Amino acid sequence: MDDSRRLFFILCGLAAAAAVTFAAISTALYFAVRRQRLESPSRTSGRPFCCPGEAEEMYRYINTTLNPCTDFFGFACSKVIALKLWKQTSVSAELVQAMITGVMPKGLKMGDAGAFLTAYYSSCVNTVSRQDFFLSTLARALVRRTEMLLKKPYSRNAFVYITAVSLQYNLPSVIDVTFSPIRSELFLKDFTICTANDMSAIAMVAAVNALKAATSATRTVKSEVKFVRWMCEQLEALSWKNATYDNSKELATFDREVWNVGDLEAGLSAVGYTMQNVSAIHVQGVHEIRLIHDLLSAEWQNLTARHMSAYLLWHSVVYGAEEFDTSHGASAQSLFDVCEKSVSRVPLVWNRFMVETLTSLDKDKEARTIFANVKDAVLSDCRASLLFEGEDAVRLEAFFKELKLVTPIEANEKSALFPQPALDFAENLLQSCAYNFEATKRLQWGSFTGNEEYYRHLAFVKSRYCILSATYYGFILPGSPNSQIPNTALLGRLLAEGLWHMVMYGIHWSSKTTENIVRLESCFVENYMSEEDERTVPIAFVTALALSSILNAFSWADWHTEKPAWSLWTLSHAQFFYTFDAYHRCPGESSPENARAFNAPLMYVEDFANAFDCSPDAAMAKAGRCPLRAASQP
């Protein structure tokens, strides 16, 4: 190392040491002042500290060597981020552990969804490492469900098979079919396979044997492989074309260029949809899909029928097995990871598990009480702000009057028949996919869908329903005198943020109201953030307004009185409120942008600086700027 570089590092080291020393001294002085104030009898009067258990957990991860008045982000989140101990991740981790082991966390019971997922995971781990066995059982399970279609694979039966395996079982065949009921769009994509590997060869054996056992058909693997090669030669000679067909005026063109419309209607009908649900059909690989259609038509039937059933099934088995291929990572951990990750393909099964595990009628009651109070608080602040005049004021009142909270128990789809666990992983896989498809379809037809606006763990549907995620119920405490502060800090603040998000960004207002909102947001950015923070401004802005509403609506005796919280740690309920909430929402990484977005809302509310006895010139003491009323003044 040359002298200049050595000098550079020495100077950096001295500067760092000086900074650490200064921080230690300032922090020591801060806590010394707090201890002196705590010794005063007036600072310890009233009821005892609400939440010693929560304080004990927080203390392990809060960086108490930092001064919260200087940088609350560092105080609350530096350890959490460094140790990767995000609170929201821990709830999911506990549920995953319960799924894997079958042992529920203390105080929780295993329901139907939990029992099914445990069987799903266990059968997955015991099966997918044996590739031959898995592909064989998957092929047989598919044939059991589609035998009548595969026995006579003319174009209609083939398309019904393709639609069913794509939509119901999430296993593409030669064509991948996807459908968006909300957008009313159907997508068809050529998914033919022309690249051979070990797994595709094993899958062909599995497909041929499964069809032989079910249909008594005479076919050989060799002849099927020869047919695949011939098909690929035909496909390679075609040019790729994408096209979109309007259902109202281009079905005849679709019928001529892609596939028989009657077959399309039959395929949709088999899974519970009709052509009335479709406004447009998007096709990728028009010529390839048309070739498959023509090979299944009557004039080709004698030449290709004995091959097409195996060809269709083979594709489904290959695509079904790809997700569970552990050949590239032979370790036990890779096997566990593959099986755990596969649960994401059936989100409504997992959601039902969360609803069973995390929710309760008592928590629902607590959520409704908090929602009613928060809704009143935000509406009151909106009225006082004078942001909304004339028709917008009327629309504002109507929005809050009509908005209802939908709890996870209410939103959970119960009418779809839940599967029973099996020993066979292929059965568990197909059953879970079929349930997820049916439950999704019924939810899409229900009241809680359409015109959705999302904010964190909330979904606002049609500006009438506020749907709360089951994930967040892991943080709600059953109602009790001591649960009010932690529940308000987490759930109350989330609901207030969601309501302000809808008011600021989710509703189309008149130009004058929009100007008022933009003026208020610009003031907030100018005083509390930076122009570089465009990505994080909307969340920080509504969080600041939400905190203000929460503090205006809720009051506690001895709010700023410091009390023994845990061991030698002392906290006021106000300090606990801010710290507890911060501990639960630390971001994934530490950055100046994240720090500004985290700290800005706390600077906005005057109560924060009062809670931590911040001096008027402290970095976190900047309240009083950009009041809501001022936003309505040009």
DSSP 114-128: HHHHHHHHHHHHHHT
Cα-based angle 270, 276, 282 (whole degrees, multiple of 5): 85
- pLDDT winner (highest mean) among 60-69, 373-382, 529-538: 373-382
Is-contact 602 608, C-beta < 8 A?
yes
Is-contact 173 316, C-beta < 8 A?
yes
Is-contact 160 175, C-beta < 8 A?
no
The whole-number average pLDDT for the span 515-526 is 93
- Model confidence at 13: pLDDT above 90: no
Helix (H), strand (E) at residue 176: strand 175-180
- Model confidence at 89: pLDDT above 80: no
- Model confidence at 185: pLDDT above 70: yes
How far is Cα 533 from Cα 597, in angstroms, rounded to an integer? 8
For residue 480, how many other CB atoms are within 10 A of its CB? 11
* Residues contacting residue 397 through CB under 8 Å, at least 6 positions apart: 379
**Alpha helix positions (H), 277-402:** 286-295, 301-322, 332-341, 347-358, 361-385, 391-402
- Model confidence at 21: pLDDT above 70: no
The whole-number average pLDDT for the span 565-583 is 90
* Adjacent-strand bridge partners of 282: 187, 244
The whole-number average pLDDT for the span 510-522 is 94
Q: Which two tokens stand for residue 619?
A: 């970095």
The whole-number average pLDDT for the span 177-197 is 91
Q: Please give the pLDDT value at position 472.
A: 86
Give the total residue count for the chain.
634
Is-contact 355 409, C-beta < 8 A?
yes
The whole-number average pLDDT for the span 435-459 is 83
For residue 384, how many other CB atoms are within 10 A of its CB? 12
Q: Please give the pLDDT value at position 530.
A: 86
How far is Cα 377 from Cα 229, in angstroms, rounded to an integer? 69
Using alpha carbons only, how large is the chain's radius of gyration in Å? 30
* Mean model confidence pLDDT for the chain: 86
Q: Please give the pLDDT value at position 2.
A: 42
Question: Where is pLDDT greater, at 182 or 26?
Answer: 182
Q: Please give the pLDDT value at position 43.
A: 45
Is-contact 356 468, C-beta < 8 A?
no
Query: By C-alpha distance, which of 600, 392, 391 is closest to 503?
Result: 392
Q: Which two tokens stand for residue 203?
A: 């899958």
The whole-number average pLDDT for the span 94-121 is 90
Is-contact 494 456, C-beta < 8 A?
yes
Q: Please give the pLDDT value at position 463.
A: 85
* Adjacent-strand bridge partners of 15: none
How far is Cα 610 from Cα 616, in angstroms, rounded to an integer? 10
Q: What are phi and psi of 176, to 5 degrees?
A: -95, 120
The whole-number average pLDDT for the span 592-611 is 94
Q: Strand 242-246 and strand 280-284: pairing?
A: antiparallel
Residue 416, SS3 per DSSP:
coil
- State the DSSP code for 461: E
How far is Cα 124 from Cα 339, in angstroms, rounded to an integer? 6
Q: Please give the pLDDT value at position 326.
A: 72
Indicate the range of 88-92, 321-325, 394-398, 607-611 predicted with least confidence.
88-92
Cα-based angle 584, 587, 591 (whole degrees, multiple of 5): 140
- Residue 548 confidence class, pLDDT cut points 50, 70, 90: very high
Q: Strand 280-284 and strand 452-455: pairing?
A: unpaired
- Residue 15 confidence class, pLDDT cut points 50, 70, 90: very low
Q: Which residue has the tokens 């990750």?
A: 341
Chain segment 233-257, per-residue pLDDT in tens: 999 999 999 999 999 899 999 999 9
Is-contact 161 149, C-beta < 8 A?
yes
For residue 545, how many other CB atoms are within 10 A of its CB? 28
In sign, the C-alpha dihedral spanning 161, 231, 260, 282 is positive
SS3 annotation, 235-261: HHCCCCCEEEEECCCCHHHHHHHCCCH
* Residues contacting residue 110 through CB under 8 Å, at least 6 positions apart: 98, 102, 104, 118
Q: Which two tokens stand for residue 132?
A: 């031959």
Indicate the range of 90-94, 150-154, 454-458, 470-474 predicted with least confidence.
90-94
Q: Please give the pLDDT value at position 552.
A: 84
The whole-number average pLDDT for the span 261-279 is 94
Is-contact 321 130, C-beta < 8 A?
no
Query: By C-alpha distance, which of 241, 247, 248 is closest to 284?
Result: 241
Query: By C-alpha distance, which of 383, 377, 367 is closest to 553?
Result: 377
Print burial letters for 77-110: b (CB count within 10 Å at least 16), e (below 16). bbbbbeeeebbeeebeebbeebbbeeebeeeeeb
How far is Cα 79 from Cα 61, in angstroms, rounded to an integer? 6
How far is Cα 251 from Cα 171, in angstroms, rounded to an integer? 26
- Residue 441 confidence class, pLDDT cut points 50, 70, 90: confident
Chain segment 394-407, per-residue pLDDT in tens: 999 999 999 999 99
Task: Please report how many Cα atoms fall inside a 13 Å half-sphere around the Cα of residue 582, on the Cβ side.
Answer: 33
Chain segment 29-46, per-residue pLDDT in tens: 344 444 444 333 334 456
- Model confidence at 64: pLDDT above 80: yes
Q: Please give the pLDDT value at position 182.
A: 80
- Residue 445 confidence class, pLDDT cut points 50, 70, 90: confident
- Model confidence at 17: pLDDT above 50: no
